[in-house]
Amino acid sequence: MALLQISEPGQSTSPHEHRLAAGIDLGTTNSLVASVRSGVADTLDDAEGMDILPSVVRYTDHGEVMVGAKALGYATQDPLNTLASVKRMMGRSASDLATLEGHLPYRFADQDSGVPQILTAAGPVTSMEVSAEILKTLRARAEDCLGGELAGAVITVPAYFDDAQRQATKDAARLAGLNVFRLLNEPTAAAVAYGLDHQAQGVTVVYDLGGGTFDVSVLALTRGVFEVLATGGDTALGGDDFDRQVAAWVLDQTGLDVQDDPQLLRKILAEARKAKEVLSLESETVIRLEHGTEIREEIRLTREGFEHLIGPYVRKTIAWCRKTLREAEVEPSKVEHIILVGGSTRIPHVRREVQEFFGRPPLSGIDPDKVVAIGAAQQADVLAGNVSGESVLLLDVLPLSLGVETMGNLVSRIIERNTPIPVSRAQEFTTFKDGQTAMRIHVLQGEREKVEDCRSLATFDLTGIPPMVAGAAHIKVTFQVDADGLLSVRAQEKTSGVSASVEVKPSYGLTDTEIETMLRDSFEHAEQDMHAKNLAERQVEARRVLEALRAALEKDGQALLSGDERESIMRAQSELEAVSEADDPERIKQAIGSLERASETFVARRMNQSVRRVMRGHRVEEFE
């Protein structure tokens, strides 16, 4: 007779081999935690049997911190101390939030840069501290349900979160006492939840429209490797925008003024959200604004009217789908599965638009609010070492290219956009001037050719370079991006071994439209950028040629040149100097060619002189 081995709830039949792990979907509107128990991944409930935790935190003047539904209940009566949608503030500077402040009924501490602080009754708090309170609650729930301390967690982030936003998420987890196995892109987690890792190959699109962010990812599974071919999206587009659009319509219909009444604004937003949810099931609804026990306003909104209001936002998501498929070089007809993620995908209009664009109905068998957390839990179980045998390999990609500034105010890209991560790439550079002993490394992110059109991430100095002639030094610059999308850069001079490095951990992220603008501009200004790059490269080459020639003439001009020869070179030099700053790369190229031809005899004599100097006192055989 076989023995039946039993175990405690949440533990495997071999507890000593099982490590407790969780997947956390840290959302803009709601958050969840999930774990794999008895081989099945599912979300974990709180004491009231609720698995969804509203991403809301309330601070009181006597130090109490409320999280979730309890805090949400105070949203209208205590809006300045009840903080919601803080995910939109993660990794942003105070100046970045200027475009959002009209939609954020909070008070901010006076500061020009750095991490913005929200003023509350308990004192100023950052978005990381607020998120940490949410993560603490989810961690406590998981440990209560699983009966032990978590070994670690996988936390999901929008695929389009940049370095600053990802770092802010990791900082929040650290404040919450969580060991982060890795950050995982939300669309990738959703695909894992649907078990697409079990099919041999195929292309899947994940359409993720949440409360505050929109992401679209094109995923491919080939020979066991799950790769994100391309990602796109907007870090400030989601169901919250639908709510605000309805709220704006309500204000327009009623003539109400909420300029100095954040409590009324919260009430209208709450009613707008209710209307949105009702209209996913019904053809019309009534929005009622109450004042005390009396109805202040009553407005009827039809589903058709609602779809007209949100239409521009939905069309914007479809435009991102089209652009991302083009970058992945995949036709819509080649997409085998479309996965819907995020509560906003319950809206019938959204589903219709997605189906019409792709030409097939999307998958929606798993609750779109839970699918990301379930996929994260499955990945956490793998990373905790609880899954034996072959596991799916997840390869996320960089959302924007990374590179360094080079002479001429140009960007030399070292890692291209949509490169799978983790990744390490290196490129060699050299010095511009004779005797140069230091170099400033300027790290940039973006798709344009000029420095001013890209985002500056960090700068650091490499010093101690041995003095050499220009172009002789070999400086290797290595970019390394880890599985969480965080970047470190190292520069080393190969002859001496001197090196310097920096971990790129910026304290703020991109503004609402910056990512979208950077990508759009890279397409719209491609021809202009190539002209600017070509011009800048020719100008740099001209300066290099002129500087080298001046140094050579000063040292050997009198000894090696006749008067006529020197005059011929000076004429060509003057011609190049005259056109070197002109907006005509072809003229600069021709002038460089003319100067090089005029200097050929001089260059040859200098080379012969150098060879004779080196060989003086030696036989030719010694150099063979």
User: pLDDT tens across 162-185, in order?
Assistant: 777 888 898 899 899 999 998 888
pLDDT score at 73: 86
CA distance 559 to 146: 86
Short-list 165, 4, 154, CA closest to 90 = 165
pLDDT, one tens digit per residue, over 523-577 is: 566 566 666 667 777 777 777 777 777 877 877 777 777 778 788 888 888 887 7
Judged against a pLDDT cut of 80, whether residue 227 lies above it is answered with: no
pLDDT, one tens digit per residue, over 119-129 is: 898 888 888 99
Q: Are residues 382 and 404 in the same domain?
A: no
> With pLDDT > 90 as the criterion, what percentage of the chain qualifies?
28
Sheet order of strands, 65-67 included: 65-67, 56-59, 82-84
User: Using CB atoms within 10 A of its CB, is residue 583 exposed (0-12), middle (13-18) or buried (19+)?
Assistant: exposed
Query: What's CA 41's distance to the chain center, in Å?
Result: 28
Q: Are residues 360 and 386 in the same domain?
A: yes
- Average pLDDT over every residue of 478-482: 86
β-pairing verdict for 393-397 and 225-234: parallel
Residue 581 covered by a domain: yes
Short-list 479, 397, 492, CA closest to 444 = 479
pLDDT score at 624: 52
The DSSP secondary structure of 225-254, one letter per residue, reads: EEEEEEEEEETT-SHHHHHHHHHHHHHHHH
Residue 182 and residue 237 in contact, taking contact as beta carbons nearer than 8 Å? no
Which range, 55-69, 289-303, 575-589, 597-611, is most confident?
55-69
pLDDT score at 221: 75
Short-list 266, 275, 263, 281, CA closest to 239 = 275
Catalytic residue list contains 87: yes
Q: Are residues 472 and 353 in the same domain?
A: no
β-pairing verdict for 53-54 and 30-37: antiparallel
Backbone phi, then psi, for 401, in 5-degree steps?
A: -65, 155
Q: Are residues 336 and 434 in the same domain?
A: no
pLDDT score at 355: 95
User: Using CB atoms within 10 A of its CB, is residue 349 exposed (0-12), middle (13-18) or buried (19+)?
Assistant: middle
More confident site: 399 or 376: 376
- Average pLDDT over every residue of 461-480: 86
CA distance 148 to 12: 12
Judged against a pLDDT cut of 50, whether residue 512 lies above it is answered with: no
Residue 173 covered by a domain: yes
Q: Are residues 376 and 410 in the same domain?
A: no
Residue 276 covered by a domain: no
Judged against a pLDDT cut of 60, whether residue 90 lies above it is answered with: yes
Query: What's CA 306's distance to the chain center, in Å?
Result: 31
Judged against a pLDDT cut of 60, whether residue 519 lies above it is answered with: no
Give the active site residue among 46, 129, 171, 208: 208
pLDDT score at 619: 56
CA distance 191 to 200: 14
Residue 561 covered by a domain: yes
Q: Which two tokens stand for residue 39?
A: 């081989």
Give the active site residue among 87, 136, 267, 370: 87
pLDDT score at 614: 56
Residue in this structure with the two tokens 């189906």, named with its chain if needed: 355
The DSSP secondary structure of 554-587, one letter per residue, reads: HHHHHHH--HHHHHHHHHHHHHHHHHTTSS-HHH
pLDDT, one tens digit per residue, over 124-149 is: 888 899 999 999 999 999 999 999 99
More confident site: 356 or 585: 356
pLDDT band at 351 (very low <50, low <70, confident <90, very high): very high
> With pLDDT > 70 as the criterion, what percentage of the chain qualifies?
82
Residue 550 covered by a domain: yes
CB-hemisphere CA count at 13 Å for 167?
A: 19
Judged against a pLDDT cut of 50, whether residue 510 lies above it is answered with: no
Q: Are residues 207 and 154 in the same domain?
A: yes
More confident site: 88 or 479: 479
Q: Which of 10-14, 117-121, 229-233, 366-370 has the lowest mean pLDDT?
A: 10-14
- Average pLDDT over every residue of 286-306: 81
CA distance 215 to 206: 8
pLDDT score at 12: 44
pLDDT score at 318: 96
Q: Are residues 324 and 458 in the same domain?
A: no
CA distance 79 to 74: 7
Q: Are residues 116 and 228 in the same domain?
A: yes
User: Using CB atoms within 10 A of its CB, is residue 207 exposed (0-12), middle (13-18) or buried (19+)?
Assistant: buried
pLDDT, one tens digit per residue, over 6-27 is: 334 444 444 445 789 999 999 8
Catalytic residue list contains 494: no
3-state helix/strand/coil string of 125-191: ECHHHHHHHHHHHHHHHHHHHHCCCCCEEEEEECCCCCHHHHHHHHHHHHHCCCCEEEEEEHHHHHH
pLDDT score at 382: 87
pLDDT, one tens digit per residue, over 58-72 is: 999 888 899 999 999
Residue 14 covered by a domain: no
Number of C-beta neighbours around residue 290 at 10 A: 12
Could you say which of 509, 539, 566 is where a domain stops?
A: 509
Could you say which of 396, 427, 461 is where a domain stops?
A: 396
3-class secondary-structure state, position 99 = helix
Could you say which of 396, 411, 436 is where a domain stops?
A: 396
Residue at 333: amino acid letter: S
**Cis bond before residue 262 (omega within 30° of 0):** no
pLDDT score at 542: 76
Residue at 565: amino acid letter: E
Number of C-beta neighbours around residue 401 at 10 A: 21
pLDDT score at 364: 80
User: Which domain, by its residues, includes 481?
Assistant: 398-509
- Average pLDDT over every residue of 486-513: 70
CA distance 87 to 26: 8
pLDDT score at 594: 81
pLDDT score at 549: 77
Q: Are residues 220 and 140 in the same domain?
A: yes
Q: Are residues 384 and 406 in the same domain?
A: no
Average pLDDT over the chain reads 81
Judged against a pLDDT cut of 50, whether residue 3 lies above it is answered with: no
Q: Are residues 480 and 544 in the same domain?
A: no
Judged against a pLDDT cut of 50, whether residue 108 lies above it is answered with: yes
Catalytic residue list contains 589: no
Q: Are residues 86 and 176 in the same domain?
A: yes
Residue 259 covered by a domain: no
Short-list 186, 157, 160, 185, CA closest to 170 = 157
pLDDT score at 432: 77
For position 557, which CATH number holds?
Answer: 1.20.1270.10
**Which string of b and e fits 416-443 if b means at least 16 CB within 10 Å?**
ebbeebebebeeebebbeeebbebebbb
For position 412, which CATH number holds?
Answer: 2.60.34.10
pLDDT score at 200: 56
Give the active site residue among 186, 241, 516, 529: 186
Residue at 560: amino acid letter: L
CA distance 23 to 64: 27
Residue 477 and residue 436 in contact, taking contact as beta carbons nearer than 8 Å? no
Residue in this structure with the two tokens 């140069």, named with its chain if needed: 436
pLDDT score at 114: 64
pLDDT score at 223: 59
For position 85, which CATH number holds?
Answer: 3.30.420.40
Total domains present in the chain: 3
pLDDT, one tens digit per residue, over 20-55 is: 999 999 988 899 999 999 889 999 999 899 999 999
Question: Cα–Cα distances in Å, from 88 out to 84, 236, 456, 618?
Answer: 9, 7, 21, 72
Residue 13 covered by a domain: no
Catalytic residue list contains 208: yes
Q: Which of 14-18, 107-111, 405-409 has the lowest mean pLDDT?
A: 14-18
